[in-house]
Structure 1
């Protein structure tokens, strides 16, 4: 069974940048970076959504931080509601 190949963040960013330039089809960066055109399209989509942060994990960290803040706010709202009801 073959192992999954891992691409560096820099190579993903370069491939996505070439795909975003729109000068060539997805096949050109795919052959240059030895990746499947579907993979290049995925990196291109990620680059459009989160830009460079998507490849370095910063976007995921921001999402986790936002989710934690929302949970904290909901807990505080619950405590304040309970205080108001019982006092």
Structure 2
């Protein structure tokens, strides 16, 4: 199956703005536009500190012995990933 191209005309200023937003999200311009067109809201690249915190939470989950605490930590990790890393659906 071949990919099909969709061309969109924008002003030079519009192109710069789209490219800037794509860079902020760590995406190519094409991927950024595709995600936006399909109703997703790409997120900007989070700071490295977030990944350090996620790793520490993951280590805590591995070390704990309480099933209840394990489940709570796992739920918090999933929520952080969903809200901070994955594109949102508008």
Q: TM-score range by the shorter chain?
A: under 0.3
Q: TM-score, normalised by structure 1?
A: 0.28
Q: TM-score, normalised by structure 2?
A: 0.27
Larger Rg: 1
More helix by share: 1
More strand by share: 2
Q: Which has the higher contact order (CA 8 A, sep 6+)?
A: 2
